[in-house]
Structure 1
Amino acid sequence: MTDTTSSGGLSESTETDSNYEIGQDNIQPFGLEMHNPVFPISAVCIVLFVVLALTNQEASAALFGWLRPYLTSTFDWFLMWSVNIMVVFCFFLALSPLGKVRIGGKNATPDYSYTGWIAMLFSAGIGIGLLFFGVLEPMYYSLPELNTLPLGLDPSVPGNENMGIVGTVFHWGISGWAVYVVVGLSLAIAGYNLNLPLTLRSAFYPLFKERVWGWPGHVIDIIAVFATLFGLTTSLGLGAQQVAAGLNDVFGLEVNTTLIVVLILLITAVALVSVVLGMDAGVKRLSEINMAMAALLLLFVLIMGPTFDLLGRFGNVMVDYVVNFVPLSNPHGREDLGFMHGWTTFYWAWWIAWSPFVGMFIARISKGRTVREFILCVLIAPSLVCALWMTIFGGMAMDQMAGGYDGVKEVVAAYKPELALFRMLDQLPLYSIVAPITLVLIVIFFVTSSDSGSLVIDTITAGGKIDAPVAQRVFWCTFEGLVAIALLLGGGLNALQGAAVSMGIPFTVVVLAMCLCLYAALRSERAKM
């Protein structure tokens, strides 16, 4: 990455009228680099949250059990229209002359190859979601007894057999990735073109000017820390539950709270090693291993299953996705409230909660790309990969059910989502080999999310420094694991999802404002060209 220790920002290509220097508001107790007041307020609040959640588990379970359904049903229109605006905004930028602006200035060159760049943004942007939901979600929608097929359709009616996968692709497609584009591109332009610190407040410099270094910026960064942390811990909790289920399925280990807590602690320890190694030696290498293993698992399922039927289904799913995109994006007059409130609005809040983390991470690795290139790669390519994954894994499970195998159906109907993937793989050859490899893949996804998330939170709380002391990264990585444990013990899956939604909704306002600031910044950069 570009060195930032000797300059006021990440790039020397252009200058702003700001005299702000990275770290100028930092305090340095014990040789650390804490941005005042973002680090102290964030750290104290997170520590208090962990203590209160662990010492009041019943109250936490009741609170978060109520919080998620209340928020997703009350703010459904706000979340859905906000994401729709972001999708339209991204396509507008890509197709307009602003798409020619280059991140870092006209002479900037990429720091990473396409392979390394896409591997890192994909691993960070997806986490363990593909493995947890790839089989579960299409099957969940397709079971008539659950009555959750998108748009209120009947899954038994011919022509609707792919709508369960279409609903899944909708949640993992361009709508979610558009959120990442807005945040990531805003931060990349602010850091590499406007020569500002790589922190959330910098994206608002076109709007607030010098006031962004005061309390308006402090509030933005603190909200971003909370959104990132709670968004991440949802994924970490899901990953721990799935690893525990896999260990039980493959090795017979008893699944209980103790096992899940131990798993979170052990995997957090592995993530700490990657955090200490840094971006290139740790995160980049793990991301590339991750992508290779995920690709091999995808090919294995495709080859062992009805290959041509699955590929043909993918084509049909993409057609249905395009045809139904607008109806699925419209929050008004819907009959499928179980699908919309139980899944869509939760997903949008979760994507938005993840966006500070993924956006900043993508910004750090995207110097030298044009705006158009950035949008096409971040928006289109991962969406297609997600669609292919969901079609193959979900389609494989649905074909098994059509052939008389009810293993996946039974665990989904019994609300044991962490077992869905293993029940599908159980019917394929070499399960005793493939299942342990899948567990390793889940763990690596877990680690890449935790370590890259720690680096991002550390950057925010260090005032934009990307080389802050290792001890600070260790602190945030450790507390990611502790927050996940606190939420799992204080309400389980509902608590994890409720926490993500509670921070995703207020951060939606921040991301919408980013659209205005990004447009202003790109117009200025285009004028310089």
Structure 2
Amino acid sequence: MLTRLHNSLGLRTNPQIFFVSAAIVVVFSALMVLVPGAMQAGFGAVAAWIAGNLGWFYVLAITGMILFAFGIAFSRYGRLKLGDDDATPEYSGLAWFGMLFAAGMGATLMFWGVAEPVSHFADPPMYGTEPETVQAASEAMGIANFHLGLHMWGIFIVPALAFAYFTYKRKLPPRMSSAFQPLIGEKIHGPIGKAIDILAVVATIFGISVSVGQGALQINSGANIMFGVPIAGWVQAAILAIITAVALMSVVAGLDKGVKRLSYINITIAIALLIYILMFGATTQAVQGTVESIGQYLTMIPALAFFNTTWSESDWTGDWAVFYFAWTATWAPFVGMFIARISRGRTIRQFVLGVLLLPTAFTFIWLGVMGVNAFKLELAGEANFVETIVEEGDIPGSLFQFLGHFPLLEVTSMVALICITVFFITSIDSAALVIDSMSSGYDDVGPTRQRVFWAISIGLVCTVLLTTTGEESLSALQEVIKVIGLPVTMMMFLQALCLVRAVREDYGGLAPIRTRQWKPVIPIEEYHRRAGEDEHDISDYSMRPAYEEGTEPEFDRWEPRGVPTAGPADRVRSEHPTGSDAADKTSG
């Protein structure tokens, strides 16, 4: 039935993944409209339990992912290419960084860049620190760098690396399930694989929806300060409609014409705004504070990496660390696949160092300039950020309150509004492209209506969350994401295990590195479609993992799961006997 519906709608994707994911989105949206109180109470109860009982798991898991990433980068496997052995990077370093920043981090810095340091300054979590003191300000900078820097990107790194390796080295479908091929073999094409992919699609939709929802709140707050626009659900719904409409145009344009160009614009505007604050603010103190904040972060990171407020009555770990890490985990399938897609041809070492260190360095600079200037104004009595952001809870308006203490407020606020809007447009359009790839299972651009549907789905979930929760909209967004992020975080451990097994199977020795070259694997239904079309040479593809003859490592001792036993690997073993086989041939 699903297949007939799929064909009648002119789609070209996997019917089960597409329709089940769509059904979850529609049912959730309907229930939020019909019984918003019950839905919010249910998610709130589960989120509270996770925050109260599993904060240690999130903190430990993310620290483990970072250690794993650096470990594999500096191992002998760090020189392996994410793609064929002769592959070269498709994008320049600047374009690569621009798309990394726009898709994975820019919107978060715009929303929390001022609010988070001020929040920790007013309510410091570290034992014995007095609120609103110089020590509290210094620690607040280290904590903000911890949440928005290396640890945030550490959540992206394992899924991104797994996606890149299994999609472009092993040529498996660009789906989350492909990363589990060494563990479950051909079951990645069965119910288990489809369940993994459905979870990835749904998590991505909810993760992006939360971010876009925060963006709508922030744009509404900025418009209220600038033009007196009321802060209301219908205004936020209108903002979402505009953002989604522009994102749809970018979705139709595709990755190179849409996302790439918007990313260039985005990073340019963000840097210009940062330079402006640096020039007209406390320039010297901001530079000094940025350098000092890096040192404070390096001093605090051993403690923060395992910090759980054990000896405090505070809910800080659940409110901040669990939310941030769960939220980022829901982004991980999308950002991971997107980063993988723009990183083909780079080595594992280049990938890990670039993805972890470049955005983290920019984060340090951004938070240093924004945070130090905010603290200077607050400590001098020239601003009341603690009152408005912490006590009144006006987090969405924090950036515009901050800009109000600098000249040319009308100009800078408009620039900030444009920057925020573009950030969320790039988030929606890149997410729609990636979700379409994850549901269809191949990189070729499918029918436009599929990408349009996913972009609309993100806008729909975001709209119902904002319009049905009223003044608690920000809290509701955070509660939903804490629940959705837990299973995605747990799967990262299995992805890391599968990645290690895969690189060990494919590794062919020291210099020069020679690895198996894998045939592109496409879903069974797409294989049969292409078999009936004259423009495709179906011999270039496979329905199950298989590598090309003549591309085996010289000393192969591993047998990848899912590869037929009677194949090239056996011939390699016969030509290069090892173990008991070698002993038998010698004795003979």
Q: TM-score, normalised by structure 1?
A: 0.92
SS state of the match for residue 507, structure 2?
Answer: helix
- Structure 1 pair 350–481 and aligned structure 2 pair: CA distance change class (3 A): same
Structure 1 distance, partners of 2:128, 2:200, is 36
- Structure 1 pair 155–410 and aligned structure 2 pair: CA distance change class (3 A): closer
Q: Structure 1 residue 290 and structure 2 residue 269: aligned?
A: no
Q: Structure 1 residue 377 and structure 2 residue 354: aligned?
A: yes
- Kept in 1: contact 2:117–2:137 (CA 8 A): no
Structure 2 distance, partners of 1:397, 1:207, is 50
Provide the residue aligned with 1:431 in structure 2.
409
Q: Which whole-Å deviations, capped at 9, do the CAs of 1:214-268 have from their partners, x for residues lacking one?
A: 1111111011011111111110100000000101101111111110111111111
Q: Structure 1 residue 361 and structure 2 residue 338: aligned?
A: yes
- Structure 1 pair 187–152 and aligned structure 2 pair: CA distance change class (3 A): farther
Deviates more, 1:459-468 or 1:112-121: 459-468
Shift of 1:155: 3.9
Q: Structure 1 residue 245 and structure 2 residue 226: aligned?
A: no
Provide the residue aligned with 1:233 in structure 2.
209
- Structure 1 pair 189–408 and aligned structure 2 pair: CA distance change class (3 A): same
Deviates more, 1:160-169 or 1:41-50: 160-169
Structure 1 distance, partners of 2:91, 2:436, is 22
Shift of 1:150: 3.8
- Kept in 2: contact 1:25–1:35 (CA 8 A): no
- Structure 1 pair 303–167 and aligned structure 2 pair: CA distance change class (3 A): same
- Structure 1 pair 149–399 and aligned structure 2 pair: CA distance change class (3 A): farther
Provide the residue aligned with 1:521 in structure 2.
502
- Kept in 2: contact 1:123–1:448 (CA 8 A): yes
Q: How many residues align?
A: 503
After TM superposition, the structure 1 = structure 2 runs for residues 455-474 of structure 1, keeping only pairs within 5 Å, are 455-474=433-452
Q: Structure 1 residue 219 and structure 2 residue 195: aligned?
A: yes
Shift of 1:127: 4.3
Shift of 1:470: 0.5
Q: Structure 1 residue 196 and structure 2 residue 172: aligned?
A: yes
Amino acid at match of 1:500: I
Structure 1 distance, partners of 2:212, 2:162, is 27
After TM superposition, the structure 1 = structure 2 runs for residues 404-423 of structure 1, keeping only pairs within 5 Å, are 404-412=381-389, 413-423=391-401
Provide the residue aligned with 1:345 in structure 2.
322
Structure 1 distance, partners of 2:308, 2:483, is 22
Shift of 1:50: 0.9
* Alignment partner of 2:368 out of 378, 384, 391: 391
Shift of 1:361: 0.4
CA RMSD of aligned residues (A): 1.8
Provide the residue aligned with 1:300 in structure 2.
276
Structure 1 distance, partners of 2:75, 2:131, is 41
Q: Which whole-Å deviations, capped at 9, do the CAs of 1:338-377 have from their partners, x for residues lacking one?
A: 3212101111111111100100000111111110000111
After TM superposition, the structure 1 = structure 2 runs for residues 253-272 of structure 1, keeping only pairs within 5 Å, are 253-272=229-248
* Alignment partner of 1:479 out of 457, 474, 494: 457
Structure 1 distance, partners of 2:133, 2:296, is 15
Q: Structure 1 residue 173 and structure 2 residue 154: aligned?
A: no
Structure 1 distance, partners of 2:34, 2:264, is 40
Structure 1 distance, partners of 2:440, 2:5, is 7
Provide the residue aligned with 2:468 in structure 1.
490
Structure 1 distance, partners of 2:82, 2:8, is 35
Q: Structure 1 residue 507 and structure 2 residue 485: aligned?
A: no
Bigger radius of gyration: 2
Provide the residue aligned with 1:7 in structure 2.
none
Structure 2 distance, partners of 1:50, 1:157, is 45
Long gaps (5+) in structure 1: 1-23
Structure 2 distance, partners of 1:148, 1:260, is 32
After TM superposition, the structure 1 = structure 2 runs for residues 128-139 of structure 1, keeping only pairs within 5 Å, are 128-139=107-118
- Structure 1 pair 25–348 and aligned structure 2 pair: CA distance change class (3 A): farther
Q: Which whole-Å deviations, capped at 9, do the CAs of 1:109-157 have from their partners, x for residues lacking one?
A: 11111111110011111141111100000001111xxx33345522455
Structure 1 distance, partners of 2:285, 2:261, is 35
- Structure 1 pair 344–150 and aligned structure 2 pair: CA distance change class (3 A): farther
Provide the residue aligned with 2:33 in structure 1.
54
Structure 2 distance, partners of 1:92, 1:199, is 25
- Kept in 2: contact 1:138–1:164 (CA 8 A): yes
Q: Which whole-Å deviations, capped at 9, do the CAs of 1:256-281 have from their partners, x for residues lacking one?
A: 11101111111111110000110011
- Kept in 2: contact 1:229–1:480 (CA 8 A): yes
Amino acid at match of 2:257: A
Provide the residue aligned with 2:563 in structure 1.
none
Amino acid at match of 2:289: R
Structure 2 distance, partners of 1:204, 1:396, is 46
Amino acid at match of 1:374: F
Structure 2 distance, partners of 1:322, 1:92, is 19
* Alignment partner of 2:159 out of 183, 199, 203: 183
- Structure 1 pair 229–162 and aligned structure 2 pair: CA distance change class (3 A): same
Shift of 1:475: 0.5
- Kept in 2: contact 1:104–1:367 (CA 8 A): yes
Provide the residue aligned with 2:58 in structure 1.
79
- Structure 1 pair 120–196 and aligned structure 2 pair: CA distance change class (3 A): same
Shift of 1:31: 2.0
- Structure 1 pair 362–298 and aligned structure 2 pair: CA distance change class (3 A): same
Structure 2 distance, partners of 1:160, 1:50, is 41
Structure 2 distance, partners of 1:59, 1:256, is 22
Structure 2 distance, partners of 1:294, 1:157, is 30
Q: Which whole-Å deviations, capped at 9, do the CAs of 1:305-360 have from their partners, x for residues lacking one?
A: 11111111111111111111121111456335432121011111111111001000
Shift of 1:29: 3.3
Structure 2 distance, partners of 1:161, 1:61, is 35
- Kept in 2: contact 1:150–1:328 (CA 8 A): no
- Kept in 2: contact 1:103–1:370 (CA 8 A): yes
Provide the residue aligned with 1:18 in structure 2.
none
SS state of the match for residue 128, structure 1?
Answer: helix
Amino acid at match of 2:350: E
- Kept in 2: contact 1:57–1:490 (CA 8 A): yes
Shift of 1:26: 12
Structure 1 distance, partners of 2:357, 2:310, is 27
Provide the residue aligned with 2:419 in structure 1.
441
* Alignment partner of 1:34 out of 6, 13, 23: 13
- Structure 1 pair 443–157 and aligned structure 2 pair: CA distance change class (3 A): closer
- Kept in 2: contact 1:148–1:339 (CA 8 A): no
Structure 1 distance, partners of 2:492, 2:190, is 19
Amino acid at match of 1:395: V
Structure 1 distance, partners of 2:308, 2:32, is 36
Q: Which whole-Å deviations, capped at 9, do the CAs of 1:29-67 have from their partners, x for residues lacking one?
A: 332112131111111111111111112222233333434
SS state of the match for residue 113, structure 2?
Answer: helix
Structure 1 distance, partners of 2:171, 2:443, is 13
Structure 1 distance, partners of 2:332, 2:431, is 11
Q: Which has the higher contact order (CA 8 A, sep 6+)?
A: 1
Structure 1 distance, partners of 2:444, 2:384, is 47
Provide the residue aligned with 1:323 in structure 2.
299
SS state of the match for residue 162, structure 1?
Answer: helix
Indicate the percent of aligned positions where both proteins have the same amino acid: 35
Shift of 1:424: 0.8
